[in-house]
Amino acid sequence: MARSDFYDVLGVARDASADEIQRAYRVLARRYHPDVNKDPGAEDRFKEVSEAYDVLSDPEMRRRYDAFGADFRQVPDGVDPQTWARAQAGAPRGGRTRTASRHAAADGEWAGGINFEDLFGDAFGGRQRSWGPIRGADQEAVITLSIEDAFRGGPRSITLSGPNGDRRYDVTIPAGVTDGQRIRLGGQGGQGTGQAPSGDLYLVVRIAPHPRYRLDGRDVHLELPLSPWEAALGTTATIDTPGGEAKLRVPAGTSSGRRLRLKGRGMPNASGRPGDLYAEARIMVPAKPSDEERRLFEELARTSTFDPRRRR
């Protein structure tokens, strides 16, 4: 997905520290998040930035990326980076020059010019490299969840497309899974050579934008529409949350923009404190008030001590 290089995507040097990578990601994620940036290309740019951060924030994945570049997910464990580079470049090995063939697969070469003889030994001539069987490569796939599905978690069946067709997986989504979190499916990655085990498949979670909720870590934010008299006199509002309905007390004298908190009603957290839910008051004035609403307005005007001329 990346345009060229994950370091270029985040705008950091190749020797950047973990903190520098995280700071760069946060700036770019805020800039290109689809909830904030409505530019047609912002969502693709956000996905690109997220993928770069997922790789470079994981020490092991970053090490493999530094060693093998864009092919890091396809390279089996145990392959020497220099051998891989020679195979890609088509450099002669041991003073012997290989001749290109129309039947590359029969000659031990992938379509991309990667030489199996260099990587795995001269298997076609009966000679095997000393490292023996090689574990299959780990693989990644992105799954998109709604906020409600991420909140609840639970069993889920997903279908992923691959070179051998579609494949179905039964997955248990942890309750409260967050954007960018990886779910490991052991042994479901690339196939190993010989008797070596297969690699793992990692599902990278992406939380889809929601028309009503906004996530900030594990905290959930939403807007709370109030009538002028509800805001002035106070009320108990029933609100929809990702976990179901909840009651929220609105104090008298609530102004637009005031945030009301429901502690612990954000995204759950199996290993720590759950997030909170924040409802931001929005006072809504009816375009055509009914007779009852008009009487309430008039009563509020008579009893109010607020003088707009004294506002500063």
Say what the pLDDT of residue 105 is: 36
In sequence order, what are the beta bridge partners of 284? none
Say what the pLDDT of residue 311 is: 40
- Per-residue pLDDT tens over the stretch 142-160: 889 999 999 999 998 888 8
Nearest to 68 by CA among 112, 121, 131: 112
**69 to 54, 91, 134: CA distances (angstroms):** 15, 18, 20
Structure token digits, residue 265: 């009603």
Give every CB contact of residue 183 below 8 A, 6+ residues apart in sequence.
Answer: 143, 171, 173, 174, 177, 202, 203, 205
Structure token digits, residue 113: 């010019």
pLDDT(2) > 50: no
- Per-residue pLDDT tens over the stretch 188-225: 887 777 778 888 888 999 999 999 999 998 999 999 99
What is the CATH code for 133-209?
2.60.260.20
CATH for the 214-306 domain, from 3.40.630.10, 2.60.260.20, 1.10.3720.10, 3.30.70.270: 2.60.260.20
Where exactly are the structural domains of the chain?
81-95+104-125, 133-209, 214-306
pTM above 0.85, yes or no: no
Q: Do domains 133-209 and 214-306 have the same CATH topology?
A: yes
Mean pLDDT of the chain: 78
- Per-residue pLDDT tens over the stretch 250-268: 999 999 999 999 999 999 9
CA atoms of 273 and 292, how far apart (whole Å): 45
Give every CB contact of residue 306 below 8 A, 6+ residues apart in sequence.
Answer: none
- Least confidently predicted of 36-45, 94-103, 157-166: 94-103
pLDDT band at residue 123 under the 50/70/90 scheme: very low
